[in-house]
């Protein structure tokens, strides 16, 4: 039997950004990969953290300076 070689498919990756939610009291960082700000906030809200005022948000976008 001849083995068939698997063809490599080119996978398209959607560009996302990383949002870092940082708690200024506990020093906890939560990294969220999302397509947009609203998506990052939805994921953050799923965690159910209290005291939202204790959190700061940072963004790492796809075109960072080298």
pLDDT in tens, 12-66: 767 888 999 999 999 999 999 998 999 999 999 999 998 989 999 998 766 666 6
Decide if 65 is inside a domain.
no
Q: Is residue 40 a contact partner of residue 19, using CB atoms and an 8 Å limit?
A: yes
| Domain assignment of residue 32, yes or no | yes
Whole-number pLDDT of residue 31: 95
pLDDT at position 8 over 80: no
Give a three-class secondary structure readout of 15-59.
CCEEEEEEECCCCCEEEEEECCHHHHHHHHHHCCCCCHHHEEEEE
Look up the domain containing 33 and give its range.
Answer: 17-60
pLDDT grade, residue 5 (50/70/90)? Answer: low
* pTM metric for this prediction: 0.69
Count structural domains, the chain: 1
21: exposed, middle or buried (Cβ count in 10 Å: 0-12, 13-18, 19+): buried
Model pLDDT, residue 1 = 54
The length of the chain is 66
């Amino acid at each position: 039997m001849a083995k068939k070689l698997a063809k490599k498919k080119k996978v398209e990756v959607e560009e996302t950004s990383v949002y870092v939610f940082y708690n200024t009291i506990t020093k906890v960082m939560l990294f969220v990969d999302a397509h947009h700000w609203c998506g990052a906030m939805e994921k953050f809200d799923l965690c159910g953290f209290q005291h939202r005022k204790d959190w700061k948000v940072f963004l790492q976008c796809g075109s960072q300076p080298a």
